[in-house]
Structure 1
Amino acid sequence: MSNENQTPIVPCPQCGKRLYWTSDNPWRPFCSKRCKMIDLGAWADESHRIAGEPAMDDASLDELMNRIERGD
């Protein structure tokens, strides 16, 4: 069997367990429902975040809009 026809083996993003990447795994890319729920909980309590600049508060947004209107 050639490498192109082999099913990829990937690590679970939560626990690192290696698993086959197939449609037979309903928790893909996780190895189990438990790992999937742990990851979801981390997003819900904001332990996981996507990097970026902090959102503007209302005062900063108003100041920016005033500067734009004045042409600063």
Structure 2
Amino acid sequence: MKDATTPAKPCPQCGKPAVHKFRPFCSPRCKQVDLGKWFNEVYVIPGEETIPANDEDGE
């Protein structure tokens, strides 16, 4: 178990020390920047490509 003296990992956005309240980020701004990257598909989780139902031929 970690205690209060164990150094935290740095913020994945800016590299500053992480703040417990916004963990793993250092601030609400870095948290929102990260969320924006997910929304804009900068970050993606690889998977199988699917064809949306409205693009199928004949139906």
Q: Give aligned-pair identity as a percent.
A: 48
Bigger strand share:
1
Measured in 2, the distance between the counterparts of 1:44 and 1:57 equals 19
Match of 1:7 in 2: 6
Counterpart for residue 26 of structure 1: 21
Does residue 45 (structure 1) correspond to residue 44 (structure 2)? The answer is: no
Partner Cα distance (2:50, 2:7) in 1: 39
SS in 2 for 1:39: helix
If the length of structure 2 is used for normalisation, what is the TM-score? 0.65
Higher Cα radius of gyration: 1
Task: Kindly report the root-mean-square deviation, in angstroms, between the aligned alpha carbons of the 2 structures.
Answer: 2.5
Partner of 2:29: helix, strand, or coil? helix
Distance 1:27 1:47 in 2: 21
Q: 1:8, CA displacement in angstroms?
A: 4.1
What do the CA deviations read for 1:26-70 (whole angstroms, capped 9, x no partner)? 2111110000000011111111111122223443xxxxxxxxxxx
Amino acid paired to 2:32: M
Q: Which residue of 2 aligns with 1:17?
A: 16
Structure 1 stretches lacking a partner, 5+ long: 60-72
Q: Which has the higher helix share?
A: 1
Runs of 4+ in 1 over 4 A off after TM superposition: none
